[in-house]
Structure 1
Amino acid sequence: MTITLEVESTLTDRYQTTVPETVRRALKLGKRDKLHYVIRQNGEVVLTRATTHEGDDPVLGQFLGFLADDIAAHPERLQGLDAGLVERIQSLVGGIDLDLDAALPEDDE
């Protein structure tokens, strides 16, 4: 026998809602997770956790696409860095040790 749980939530004036705790637990949702909706012809809506591809960053992807388009459209705008600027950058960050794979502290997420 299949057990069905039913829960409700309310829309705010801005058409926002809180996902009920039972739904969050069932979908294993955390803060900043994305939701996926499937709207069927009969008006039924299926809500699932959106699958993400590890390493994909949609904002970064859009920015890199913008840069590629701009470079293709205006290659004459490209400029090399002069030695003085490179030296200045090295003086500011040359001795900093950084692990890009380290997890962020909870306060920075």
Structure 2
Amino acid sequence: MSMVANLLYEKRFGPYYTEPVIAGLDPKTFQPFICSLDLIGCPMVTDDFVVSGTCAEQMYGMCESLWEPDMDPEHLFETISQAMLNAVDRDAVSGMGVVVHVM
């Protein structure tokens, strides 16, 4: 995460127009880790979910209402799919289509 944050901060006056999401396992505890970074590299670390992109405002409300701790993969897939499709329907800039991968 630090490397990506430093790269984004270095280009803050001519930023890369991206909001990366970093997911993986913490190397010390092997617990799941997820965070997102804004255009200038400021991280938002959370324990449950992150949203990113042009439709982030629309997705926060949907994700907060649908997300529950310890969801099974099928329920998680359905929740992510519904949140993404509803956000894309409400934001014309976000594009068309969604691909969801649950590991």
TM-score by length of 1: 0.22
The higher relative CO (CA closer than 8 Å, separation ≥ 6) is in 2
TM-score by length of 2: 0.22
Larger strand percent: 2
